[in-house]
Structure formats: structure tokens, C-alpha cells
Amino acid sequence: MADLRVFVASLATETNTFSPIRIDRTAFEDSFYAPPGQHPETPTLCSAAFTAARKRARTESFTLIEGTATWAEPAGLVSRAAYEGLRDEILDQLAQALPVQVALFGLHGAMMAEGYDDCEGDLLVRARALVGPDAVIGVELDPHCHLTQAMIKASTVIVTFKEVPHSDFAERADDMVDLALRAARGEIRPVMSVLDCRSIANFMTSRSPGRELVDDMLAMEQRGDVLSLSVVHGFPAADMADVGTKILVITDGDRETGRRIAETLAERVLGFGTNRMPYMPGPAEAVTAALAAPRGPVILADRWDNPGGGVAGDSTFLLHALLDRPEARSALGALWDPVAVSFCAAAGVGARLEMRLGGKAAPSSGQPVDAEVEVTALTDDLVIPFQASLVSLGAAAAVRIGNLDLVLASKRAQTFHPQVFSAMGIDLMAKQVVVVKSASHFHTAFAPLAADIIYVNCGGPYPPDPTKIPYRKIRRPIAPLDIAEPVWMT
């Protein structure tokens, strides 16, 4: 089939139903919105299908039709108008592109809107109705997704990132596009086997035992044992039926092998047990441990005030802990506080002013900090790398309180990269303690300079313990809420 017609689009966010922050269309347009033909050459976390498809189209004989690509920073529920408007925009583009033999989608998998608990499933079912039963639908998902029966039934191939932190989203897009094209050309017959572990079992792949699991999965793919392996970690901060961990195996027409491998991987993941996450001290304990280290900088990850988890990124628990140790040479960033940024911009670099910082979004953000600050740097747009992509934190300011340097941002985004600090004139190598607002995605860029990394439990707005989350919709039984056994989805 030398004249394949291939459509690609992306619609993504991650919905924390316990977050006080709501999303409308403006949130997508402010974060990332690229209408047809205007996607940049660099991928975003959930739109790497565009760059992967473009790369193949340059050397192969198929027609690529690009739809909209858009992403909103994780937060609470998406408004019905925003979701339906963006969904219908993409579906209209797909309808105009027909006939297509391949439809590619870069999604997150944990997007929820008013009236829609499974936005991705809804979109894919509607896309399937348009393209017909014989077209190939390829999907790339974040592993922190809710893999639903609707998504599986509507899709031909689904591939998730393997790495947590997500350092491989571009490579997995290449995998997904390759499988979709091969399926459309009749070279393979993808069969998806999905085992629901009936457990909320998140883990990191930057450390053991997750590291060894991902290495083994990659080796199995390279040997040709399977076409693709994905571990869906799930996103616990969402009240919906399909929360939880799942194993997805794609084989070439061999369901029996797929099921056998899925069972083996599920056994390994569930075997990680309660030790799958590192011990996380509280703020004061973490700061004390960092100051006792023989050298710095020690990175403290404010894991539960991570904007990538849908919360504000304005909690002050670690900020107070650092100010309680005024002798510490420290830095913290990026704290979401657009009001403070605007005050700093009006005052100018070098100004000293009394300010109230952080603690604005909700009571769970903690008490604000009242302090006299010195404005040390300003920028109209703080842009930082995240793997192969670029992320904007918007207008930003750096302020100093004694030995503490603090970066304030007007847009919510994780502290993916040391440039959050270095672009504002802050030398991290001169610091003993550096606090980053991120759960795990900081790791790739910060690990090379860190003397140590400590994950900190500040409590706060993101619910860290699944057993204490007030679920109403989750399907039971599921561990650790119940004793449960894995069940097959396909």
C-alpha cells in the first residue's frame, strides 16, 4: 500500500479530580495549542506522534494529514465546553481527511471532563466510527493513564511510555507509529492482551526494582519475543472506575504468548509490594538530612505539590522548613505565584519589598510566607527543556530571602530542569539544599549534579496514600483497599 493516508492529532491533559483548579479552553491555549500544520519540530510530552510520523513521511510513500495538537497542564476537571469543543475540532478534521488507513493519536489517558470520566475512550470510539473497522488506530499514552475497555476496543495498537520519569516519550512514539504503519501494510497482525492487576501499584523506573523491569521489557522487544510491552501505572488522584495498574502486551497474532508474558510481568510488578517507593521524610527531617550531607547540592523533591499531578505548585511546607534554617544556602523553585511575579516585575530588579508568597490555592497549600525579599532577576518567559521538548513557566521572578533563592513562576509547570534556576542567575552548585516542585520528571536533568536526592512527603493537596483517598467511583475490589486478584480485559 504505497498510497497510505495517515492522520495525526493530539489532545491531552491529566485530571486530578481532587484538585481545586479547573480547566477551560484557555488553559489549553495558554499551555500548548497548535492548529493543523503548526506543530513545532520539537515534540511535547503527548504530541510526539507528530514528529515521529513526520520523520517516517520524509522517507516513505504516504500522505500525512495533521490535525490539532493541544495540551493543558494537569489540574482538575476539564469543562464540558472545552473538551467537547476540542474533541469535535479534531473529529471534524479527521472527517475531512477521509478516507484514511491510519489514524494516530497522542493522548494522555487520564483526562476527565464534566460529564466524561473517560475522555480518551470517548474520542477514540468516535474516531473509530469515522474511519471504519478496517483502519488502523494507533495511540500513545502516558503510563499514568486509566486504560479503559473503550480505549482498547477502539484501538489497533496502544503504546505507553516505559520510563517514570518520562524520558522516552519520543522513542515510544516512534514505536507506536512503526507498529501502526506495519499493521496497515499487512506486515503484522497486532493482538493486544491486557491484564488488569487490580492494584494501585505505582513505581519509579529510575531505581531498583523498576529499573530492571524496564530493561528486561526492552530486551524482550529487541529479541522479537513481542511487538510491544507497556506497564500502565495508573493515576491514583482521580475518582473514576478504571484507576489502577495494568499490563499491556502486543504480539503478532499470538494471544497465548501475550497472556503468558502479561501474567509474568504482573507478578513482578505486584511483587514490588510496599517497597516500590522510597521512604519520604517530612519537610523538617528532609532539610536536616540535606544539611548533614558531606556536600551539596542535595535535591529535595516536593513530590506531592507537583504541578504535573494536577495541583497548584504553591505549597509552602518546604519553604517554611528552609526559612527555619536560615544558615542553609538553599534554593526553591518554581513556586507558582503569578501575583507575586507581577509585584516583582513592577518593582524591578534590585528592589526590596514586603511580600506574601505561596499558600494561595487552597488550605492544603499551607500558610503563606510573609517576608522582605530582594528581587534578583526577572524574565518575561522562563522556557526550560524537558527531554526533547520545551516548556514555558511564563513570566518569572527570582527573589532572595537571606541565604534562600526562590524562583516564582506565573504558569504552573514542573521543575523539569536546572535552567529554572540557572536562567535566573542562581548557581545550584553553591547551594547545600535545592527544592524542586516535581514528583519524578526532574530526575534526568538534576541527577548529574545532585549529591543526593530525597523525596519529601509534605502532605498537601495531592493525595499520597491511596487507602485514604475518598473514592466513590473506583471499581472494587482493588489493592491496597482490598484483597484482589488480576483479571483479563482482553
pLDDT tens, 393-416?
999 999 999 999 999 999 999 999
**Predicted pLDDT at 22:** 93
Complete DSSP assignment for 378-446: EES--EEEETTEEEE--SEEEEEETTEEEEEESS-----STHHHHTTT--GGG-SEEEES-SSTTHHHH
What is the distance between the alpha carbons of residues 266 and 268, in angstroms, rounded to a whole number?
5
Vertex 240: Cα angle to 236 and 241 (nearest 5)? 105
Question: Quick check: 205 and 162 in contact, CB under 8 A?
Answer: yes
Of 191, 179, 194, 160, whose CA–CA distance to 262 is shortest? 194
Residue 271, phi-psi category: left (phi > 0), alpha (psi -120 to 50), beta (remainder): alpha
Q: Across the beta sheet with 352-357, what order do the strands follow?
A: 352-357, 369-379, 396-401, 404-409, 330-336, 433-436, 298-302, 452-456
For the chain, give every domain's residue range.
4-275, 283-456
What is the distance between the alpha carbons of residues 483 and 424, in angstroms, rounded to a whole number?
50
H helices, E strands: number in the chain: 13, 20
Q: Omega of the bond prior to 294 within 30 degrees of 0, cis?
A: no
| pLDDT per residue as tens digits for the range 10-60 | 999 999 999 989 999 999 999 999 999 999 999 999 999 999 999 999 999
Question: Quick check: 306 and 460 in contact, CB under 8 A?
Answer: no
**Predicted pLDDT at 5:** 98
What is the distance between the alpha carbons of residues 276 and 283, in angstroms, rounded to a whole number?
21
pLDDT at 2 over 70: no
| pLDDT per residue as tens digits for the range 76-135 | 999 999 999 999 999 999 999 999 999 999 999 999 999 999 999 999 999 999 999 999
Taking the C-alpha atoms of 117, 119, 121 and 127 in order, what is their torsion angle to the nearest 10 degrees? 150
3-class DSSP assignment, residue 231: strand
**Predicted pLDDT at 264:** 98
Mean pLDDT of the chain: 95
What is the distance between the alpha carbons of residues 178 and 66, in angstroms, rounded to a whole number?
17
3-class DSSP assignment, residue 314: coil
| pLDDT per residue as tens digits for the range 276-297 | 667 899 999 999 999 999 999 9
Assign 274 a pLDDT band (cuts: 50, 70, 90).
Answer: low
Helix (H) or strand (E) holding 123: helix 119-131
pLDDT at 1 over 80: no
What is the distance between the alpha carbons of residues 325 and 318, in angstroms, rounded to a whole number?
11
Q: What amino acid is encoded at 152 in this protein?
A: I
Percent of the chain at pLDDT above 90? 90
* Packed helices 255-271 and 210-223: angle between N→C axes, nearest 10 degrees: 160
| pLDDT per residue as tens digits for the range 351-395 | 999 999 999 988 889 999 999 999 999 999 999 999 888 999 999
Mean pLDDT within 64-72: 98
Vertex 302: Cα angle to 406 and 69 (nearest 5)? 90
Lowest mean pLDDT among 207-211, 261-265, 477-481: 207-211
Residue count (the chain): 490
Question: Quick check: 384 and 436 in contact, CB under 8 A?
Answer: no
Phi, psi of 78 (to 5 degrees): -85, 140
Q: What is the DSSP secondary structure assignment for residue 181, as one 8-state letter? A: H
* Cβ count near 485 (within 10 Å): 11
Of 484, 458, 444, whose CA–CA distance to 170 is shortest? 444
DSSP β-bridge partners for residue 409: 336, 396
Question: Quick check: 327 and 333 in contact, CB under 8 A?
Answer: no
Question: Quick check: 235 and 306 in contact, CB under 8 A?
Answer: no
Of 324, 402, 391, 311, whose CA–CA distance to 358 is shortest? 311
Which of 273 and 257 is assigned the larger pLDDT? 257
Topology at the third CATH level for domain 4-275 = Rossmann fold (3.40.50)
CA dihedral for 339, 342, 347, 348, sign (positive or negative): positive
Of 416, 342, 427, whose CA–CA distance to 385 is shortest? 416
Q: What amino acid is encoded at 458 in this protein?
A: C
Q: How far is the CA of 482 from the CAs of 121, 241, 477, in angstroms?
A: 27, 15, 5
Mean pLDDT within 256-266: 98
Assign 4 a pLDDT band (cuts: 50, 70, 90).
Answer: very high
What is the distance between the alpha carbons of residues 86 and 131, in angstroms, rounded to a whole number?
19
* Packed helices 169-184 and 48-57: angle between N→C axes, nearest 10 degrees: 50
* Packed helices 80-97 and 119-131: angle between N→C axes, nearest 10 degrees: 20
The reply to whether the predicted model has a pTM over 0.75 is yes
